[in-house]
Amino acid sequence: MIPEPLEALGRVFDQLEIKHDFEDERLLTGFGGTNAPYSISIVAWQSAEEWWNFDLRAYIRTGGRHAGSFPLMAVSPHQFDEAHRFLNYLNGRWLTAGHAYIDPDDGDISFRWTGPFPAVITEAFADHLLGAVSQIDHFFPELRAIMADGMTAMGAIASHNARDAAERESRQDPSDDDAQGDDDDEPETFPFPE
């Protein structure tokens, strides 16, 4: 049986014309992404009689034949370590909700977030969820460059900051000092001492 909060989220996805399916008490969907296709799995669980929570996982498969994929087994131990350093940076400096990781079971590049469902599930809540999980797509170019092309974690951080600055400039958005991850004025040594 599908929990009511997931059914309600599915109804909102219908309103937003987002294709989805239910399987094994999970809501499943996916997106082509800007940088790589990614899938989303959402489950609901009850922590108390009146409280429902979501556990959301977005993931990019690392061994598929889709554009942008690469075989994880071909990544050198050094580059795998660099990827973990970059993910540690993201989790420590950028992501204010959820965390990114390389799934130890299947090797997928993943983003996971757990939180409470609101009393009423709205389009704004669905947009909020989907915006958060799109971070996996947003950071994929740097992760791919580390694991497939040999970029260092520090190089990936610099590349990501430059890419974000160029995107802001192309939209003519002023830099927001309170935005998550906006630390352009700070030296990038975390978590790597020079």
Q: What CATH number does residue 151 fall under?
A: 3.30.1460.70
192 domain residue, yes or no:
no
193 domain residue, yes or no:
no
Who contacts 190 (Cβ-Cβ below 8 Å, separation ≥6)?
Answer: 89, 92, 93
Owner of token pair 């130890």:
104
182 domain residue, yes or no:
no
Domain count for the chain, please give it: 1
188 domain residue, yes or no:
no
179 domain residue, yes or no:
no
* pLDDT tens digits for range 170-179: 988 655 544 4
At 8 the pLDDT is: 95
107 domain residue, yes or no:
yes
187 domain residue, yes or no:
no
Over residues 132-148, the mean pLDDT reads 92
92 domain residue, yes or no:
yes
The CA distance from 129 to 56, in Å, is: 9
Q: Give the C-alpha distances (Å, rounded to integers) separating 61 from 68, 107, 136.
A: 10, 8, 11
Rounded to two decimals, what is the model's pTM? 0.79
For residues 85 and 153, the answer to whether their CB atoms sit within 8 Å is yes
Range of the domain at 167: 4-171
Q: How many other C-beta atoms can be found within 10 angstroms of the C-beta atom of residue 187?
A: 7
Over residues 30-37, the mean pLDDT reads 92
